[in-house]
Structure 1
């Protein structure tokens, strides 16, 4: 069977942007900024994006492009014994998707509620079984797109969603910047408290968020890289290769979306005296109450949750492609059958998360299952996957192959080898150790 390909470089980059800009980019990013002292969080976050996120994305693109396959077969081709490493990455991405679709379902429900001007309290919504229903609906949407394939499914939908997402984001930005708390919100958002940089948690959460947002370490970019044409990755200019430029563009647009999301959320937070570090509670409890009290609140709420739904759906689609592509490439399943089997498994795995906040209150050690999944897989799991990726590729695949795939020469071998083989594994190892101390 001939492997599917992106229609063009533009289609590939747009699909990458759609994958990266998700709920984590807008809601989770702003929550972590609020939790970690405002502008202070931006410093380790930008460092993580520039010196770790982009190199790992380049690494994933080049591995996928070189082997022309998804995660498990690519790792098996490096060394057969590294099949487990590929399976671990697929497992982490699948577990993230299982609870991510639950939150996407919440977003869809609130979008429809505000559209009909009938929002209900979050406790009333989650106390019912509507979260389970909307979990299945959002899973069905992602299933439909992936089933249609790379060019006619993922790329086609991404070309629609990405421009729409940024248009809605700028619309919300224009509204938020007219609010009374704009100056105070922006001050909190941009001015760092440098004393907080000595706290280890701010670094682990910044790196976890950067990886989570960009989707590196989850096999998404490796899988997307395997659908590249030769001309999509050939050397572009004397300074930067096409793979480098593609990774930089995707990271740039993801970071722009995250920063703009903060400029939307923090003026609202400070205009109404809200807690900036209240996380999902801010999106699903506090802001809906505010939207109901202000003029044009129903319209603003509708647009806000529409933005979140676009972002969440585009990322869910890319997460689903990782295990589906693995079944297609490694076990020779057809796309339709692979999509169906993976979707059923994800739905079953995600049921405990979907029921976490309902009357059943599924908890473990006093924490909701959904929250535990987000901690275990959305932070530690993502960092661990990035560590495994850099070690396997840097030490066992060999930089020479990657360098040739990226630049077509060995001109940058020294710097690239240093980053992939030593710098990234060392720092990520330290972060994981700190996380578990």
Structure 2
């Protein structure tokens, strides 16, 4: 349905919908497949048992990733709204949790766009291998990195120009709404991304030394499976990779038709995301094997196998060594840019949809107002000489504390606080697809809170006791804990703002499949 700008007091415009199941699946996959799939998973796997890591990874996918993905689906689809709307309809006291997820998403989009801008610049640089023989020095010069930790207001032109272009594209797509904007973009971007990255992988596995890289990647370190940290790493990777627990899948599922298949779709999205990660691991380590062979060292002796350094230092070096480097460089950084854009659009929609429903804005109004403000903040904070330092700290704190904390609170709220998991299960089972049993409630209500609670507690303890990286305390305070305070502030302020429309006058679909045949559907005004 097209978004309508015609509004009357107290009357909501017709809610937008995906054109069909395929549009939703491609968009959900686009959200899950992002930058972390390409540069985070290979390194995490390599450092946590190699091929043996695939066992805890698969266990984590089945016991945490897909169950929480389905929980997000059930919340958004049952209560037909963005995160704040859905949580308020669940119980009024939970609206703040939805706004905290919006606040977290808001922070993420500010720096996520900058990484996409870097990829766009490097796609141009790749055409003539502009980094020369010193990719590391080129990257430092490109960002004009300061010699010491500081807060700079000096904008880097090479980052500013592509960053502005990224924001223009993102705002344009977002302003078109769900079906004409998000869905059409993902229908084009996802097949193109897969084709581009598949071409890169095929070329990588045919390089001299590729087999050594694949051997390093897949050779299992079985004793590593006895290390609890390896299992924690697997759960952490699945959790961060699937775009769950910070409003994205709640928002996306709310645009599905009422009889849409939810459970089978969740399996498709979950396994598609993991398949892309495995594909990325094969491509990355084939290339690293080639790089090691050219340098006459082992793969284990390479300095960088994950993160920003892998994408913007190690890969440029590999491209300089391989035949056809410029062509595959354009493909690689183009794929990186597309992966980032599809995820960015989904995070932006979390924020846009929440403000549309709270303040009665149209998709165009939300895109222009929120996008313009976010673009200014993004430029001011992350296109400067200290942008990489700020990005590193903000990303660490917002993910390890903000996103994980949101997931823990959500599962505890639904499981122990409100005891609504049976209702969510019945909603999922009331649609076509795989039927869930009591095992799903046990995973969501017990296993996930315990595992993620442990990750959260140990993560917070580490951040409090030891400084992250080599950053001074004042820098971590402002951009680490300060970032989380911003997300919390958004939650408090926006919860206090009056709703433009009455979202409480809402009745979810009946649940005839609840135990004992009792229908506990909330009728009339939400509790």
TM-score, normalised via structure 1 length? 0.90
The residue number in structure 2 matching 1:375 is: 396
Aligned residue for 2:162?
134
Give the CA deviation at 1:197: 3.8
CA offsets 1:243-283 (integer angstroms, 9 cap, x no match): 11101101111111110011111011122123353521121
Q: For 1:222, what is the secondary structure of its paired residue?
A: helix
Deviations 1:298-347 (A, max 9, x none): 11111111111111111111010001000011222221111122213322
Any residues of structure 2 matched to 1:178-189 within 5 Å, and which?
178-189=206-217
Per-residue deviation, 1:178? 0.8
Deviations 1:216-250 (CA, angstroms, capped at 9, x unpaired):
11211110110000232xxxxxxxxx211101101
Counterparts of 1:428 and 1:278, CA distance in 2: 23
- What corresponds to 2:178 in structure 1? 150
Structure 1 stretches lacking a partner, 5+ long: 233-241
> Which sits farther off after the overlay, 10-19 or 388-397?
388-397
| Root-mean-square deviation over aligned CA pairs | 2.1
Q: Mean Cα displacement is larger for which, 420-429 or 69-78?
A: 420-429
267, 272, 276: which one pairs with 1:253?
A: 272
Q: Is the 8 A contact 1:71 1:90 kept in 2?
A: yes
Task: Give the superposition deviation at 1:198.
Answer: 4.7
Distance 1:212 1:137 in 2: 27
Aligned residues of 2:64 and 2:444 also touching (Cα < 8 A): no
Unpaired segments ≥5 residues, structure 2: 1-12, 133-137, 145-155, 293-301, 462-527
Runs of 4+ in 1 over 6 A off after TM superposition: none
Deviation of 1:40 (Å) = 4.3
Partner residue, 1:423: 447
Total equivalences in the alignment: 420
- Given that 1:208 and 1:379 are in contact with CA atoms closer than 8 Å, whether structure 2 keeps it comes out as no
1:391 corresponds in structure 2 to 412
Q: Does residue 263 in structure 1 map to residue 282 in structure 2?
A: yes
In structure 2, relative to structure 1, the CA distance for the partners of 1:100 and 1:83 (3 Å cut) is: same
- 1:269–1:275 contact (8 Å) kept in structure 2: no
Residue correspondence of structure 1 range 11-30 to structure 2 within 5 A: 11-30=23-42
Shift of 1:405: 1.3
Mean Cα deviation higher: 111-120 or 148-157:
111-120
Structure 1, 221-230 or 19-28: larger mean CA deviation: 19-28
Corresponding residue of 2:70: 58
Matches within 5 A, 1:117-128: 118-119=130-131, 121-127=138-144, 128=156
Q: CA 1:412–1:278 in structure 2 vs 1: closer, same or farther (change >3 Å)?
A: closer
> Separation in 2 of the partners of 1:199 and 1:130?
44
Partner of 2:257: 229
Does 2:31 correspond to 1:3? no
* Alpha-carbon distance in structure 2 between the residues aligned to 1:178 and 1:247: 34
1:14-413 superposed matches below 5 A:
14-115=26-127, 118-119=130-131, 121-127=138-144, 128-232=156-260, 242-273=261-292, 274-351=302-379, 353-355=381-383, 358=385, 361=386, 368-395=389-416, 396=418, 398-408=420-430, 412=436
Instruction: Give how far 1:3 is off.
Output: 0.3
Q: Quick check: which one's helix share is greater?
A: 1
User: What is the CA distance between 1:50 and its match in structure 2?
Assistant: 1.6
Question: 2: distance between equivalents of 1:291 and 1:5?
Answer: 43
Per-residue deviation at 1:352?
Answer: 5.6
SS of structure 2 residue aligned to 1:333:
coil
Question: Does the 8 Å CA contact 1:212/1:379 hold for their aligned counterparts?
Answer: no
Which secondary structure does the structure 2 equivalent of 1:231 belong to?
A: coil
290-299 vs 143-152, which deviates more?
290-299
User: For the pair shown, which has the larger CA radius of gyration, 1 or 2?
Assistant: 2
Deviation at 1:68, TM superposition (A): 0.7
